[in-house]
Amino acid sequence: MIIIAHRGNLDGPNSNENSPTQIDTAIQQNFDCEIDLWEIDQYLYLGHDFGMYKVTLDWILARKDKLWIHCKNYSCLKLFMSLESLGLNFFWHQNDDYTLTSKKKIWVYPGQILLDGSIAVLPENFTENENSNLLSRCFAICTDFALEYRRKYSSGAC
């Protein structure tokens, strides 16, 4: 099972989430990362509510095999659709229950019923329910607590 560090978080949300340093730290520890990306005036910025950290397309491409790119505005989505031949993994959603990524993986909005082979987003934010039994059947978990989920699922239970 793939563990995706949500905004590069390894041990809970923090003030460095979505920063290039945070993303690189998570990747160096062999995690995939979900990043929030904006395109503003032909520049790319990491940040959840607005663009905070300027990055380049080369920075993205150097990490593309580890990134799950959440396009935060239409111009970012349009840009990445035009670059689809580069094999980037991107998606856009707001409150959709399910979103299909460019690599044809099902991104499940937090709290929705998990599907076999899908990506469970922020399972730590929900009480124990029928989804708990389905986590091990997911393709990936996207979490703010990547280290904890790695320990939990490294026993081969997945």
- Domains within the chain, CATH numbers bracketed: 2-153 (3.20.20.190)
Among 40, 41, 31, smallest CA distance to 7 is for 31
Instruction: Please tell me whether the overall predicted TM-score, pTM, comes out greater than 0.95 for this model.
Output: no
Share of residues in the chain with pLDDT > 90 (%): 82
pLDDT tops 50 at residue 158:
no
- In order of 55, 79, 141, the CA distances from 76 in angstroms are 13, 5, 24
User: Residue 25 has what pLDDT?
Assistant: 98
Mean pLDDT, rounded, of the chain: 92
Record the tokens describing residue 92, joined without a space: 């856009």
User: Residue 157 has what pLDDT?
Assistant: 42
Record the tokens describing residue 52, joined without a space: 């905070």
Integer-rounded Cα radius of gyration of the chain:
15
User: Residue 95 has what pLDDT?
Assistant: 83
